[in-house]
Amino acid sequence: MRFSCQFCLYNSDHPFGLSLKVDSSAVTCSGCITHSEKHQNIWEDQQAYLCALIKSHLKQKRQYDCVVPVVGDAEDYFTLTQVLTLGLSPLVVSVNDYFRNDIGWHNLHQLITYFDLDSLIFHPDLRVYKELVRTSLRKYDHLLLPFLQLHTSYPVHIAYERKIPLIIWGQHQAIEQVGKFSHRDRVQMSRWSRKEHDLFNVDCDRLIGNGAQVKERELNYYQYPDITKLNKAGVIGIYLSNYLPWDPLAQNYQALAQGFKPQTHNGTFDIYERAGSSVYYGIHDLLKMKRVGYRKVSDHLTREIRHGRLTRAQGVDLQKQYQAQQVDIEAFFDWLDVTQSGRQWFIKHRLKDVAHLIGKEIKDSPAIPDSISSLLSGDAKPSREFILFGKGLHI
C-alpha cells in the first residue's frame, strides 16, 4: 500500500526509500522529520566537529587541503565560499557531461575565476560516453547515469592519486530529500551510499557486456576506487549539509552577487539548480516522470514547503501546473546521433505514457508566492545548447 506524507508532496514510492511515521493524528515522512532538525539546537556542536576535522587536515603540509567536486551550480558557489571561509586550499574538480549550454559553461568558468582556484576538468572519451548513455536509456530509462558514475568517482580517484585525503561535497541528497540519516550521524561518503542513492543501484558494470560496446579498461574513472586503498590512504568525503542548516534557495540566491547566471525553465520555478543544462529539465525530466511518477519540480516544491515558504495546498496546485508543461527533446536526439525513425520508435515504445508532454508549447508560468519569488532574480535563456569542449571541440 502506498502512503503519502500529509506535510509534503512525497509518498512511499520515492526512489531513495522514504519511510513514513503513521499515528492517530498524521502521516509524516522521514524527510520532514529529519528536516525538523534544522530548527533544533544541534548546529553549534555540528560546526565545532567540522572545525576540529578541518583543523586536523590544515596541519598537513601539502599543496591542497581538499578536493571539491563541482558541476557549476549555484550550490557549488556556496560550497566553495564555505570551504574558503574555513581556511582550506581546495582543488576544484569537475566532469564534462557534454550537456552544458552557454550558461552552463559561463557558470563553471565564473566559479573557477571568481574564486581564483586551481581546477581539473575531465573530458571523458565522447564515443564511450555516448555509448553508455544509449545503453543507460535503453536499459534504465535514464540518461545521466554515466555522468553520475563519473561525478561520484573521478574526484575520489583524484584525491587518492594526489594524496589529498579530504573531499568536501555540498549536500547529501538522500538526507535532504528523504531523511535517510540524521544530520547528527555526520554521514560520510561511501561506495554503498554512492550506489544506493546516486546511482540507483546501477554500477557501470551493468552498462557493459550485453549493453554498451566498450571495453572494461575504458571505464576506469567510471568505477569507484578500491575501498581498501582509500582506507589505507585515509581518504574521506564529508557533506557540508550535515554541518550547516542547509537552505538551497536562500543560499543559491547569494551566488548572483558572485557572477552566477540563473536560467529560467518552463518545468520549474527554481532558476538555480542545474542552470545551464541542455537536458536536466528536458528529456531527463520526462524520463523521471516515467520512472517515478513526478518531475523535478516536485522535489523543489517539497523543499520549499519544508522551509515554510509554501503551504502544501499551494504546492499541490503548482505541481499540477508545472508537470503539465511540455518539453522539447529533439536537440538531445540530434546530439546522440539518433535517426528520425529511431527517435520515433523510442517515443512510441518507451515514452508513450508521457508522450503528451513532448512538444514545444510553452504555457504561462504559474504565479509563485512572494516568499519564493523574492529569492528569484534573473530570467536568462541559453543561446546555444550542447556545447562541447575538450574531446570533440565545438565552439
For residue 29, the SS3 value is strand
Predicted pLDDT at 65: 96
The answer, yes or no, to whether residue 96 has pLDDT greater than 80, is yes
Predicted pLDDT at 209: 66
Predicted pLDDT at 22: 85
Map grid coordinates 514547503 to a residue: 305
Q: What one-character DSSP code corresponds to residue 259?
A: T
Predicted pLDDT at 274: 98
Residues 6+ apart with CB under 8 A from 24: none
Can you tell me the distance from the alpha carbon of 119 to that of 112, in angstroms, rounded to the nearest whole number?
A: 7
Share of the chain above pLDDT 90, in %: 86
Mean pLDDT of 259-277: 97
> Please, which pLDDT band fits residue 289 given cuts at 50, 70 and 90?
very high
Predicted pLDDT at 390: 57
The answer, yes or no, to whether residue 256 has pLDDT greater than 90, is yes
Element spanning 238, H or E: strand 236-239
The answer, yes or no, to whether residue 136 has pLDDT greater than 90, is yes
The answer, yes or no, to whether residue 394 has pLDDT greater than 60, is no
Predicted pLDDT at 23: 83
The answer, yes or no, to whether residue 212 has pLDDT greater than 70, is no
Domains of the chain from N-terminus onward: 1-40 (no CATH), 41-242 (3.40.50), 277-373 (no CATH)
Q: Give residue-wise pLDDT tens across range 341-379.
A: 999 999 999 999 999 999 998 888 899 999 999 999 987
The answer, yes or no, to whether residue 59 has pLDDT greater than 90, is no
Mean of the per-residue pLDDT values of the chain:
94
> Please, which pLDDT band fits residue 389 given cuts at 50, 70 and 90?
confident
By mean pLDDT, which of 24-33, 145-154, 219-228 is the weakest? Answer: 24-33
3-state SS record for 325-358: CCECCHHHHHHCCCCHHHHHHHHHHHCHHHHHHE
Instruction: Identify the CA nearest to 149 among candidates 245, 229, 225, 73.
Output: 225
> Please, which pLDDT band fits residue 34 given cuts at 50, 70 and 90?
very high
Mean pLDDT of 319-347: 96
Q: Give residue-wise pLDDT tens across range 107-119.
A: 999 999 999 999 9
State the Cα torsion 222-223-229-231 to the nearest 10°: 90
User: 33 exposed, middle or buried (CB, 10 Å; 0-12, 13-18, 19+)?
Assistant: middle
Can you tell me the distance from the alpha carbon of 357 to that of 322, in angstroms, rounded to the nearest whole number?
A: 11
| Triad 289, 290, 291: Cα angle to 5° | 95
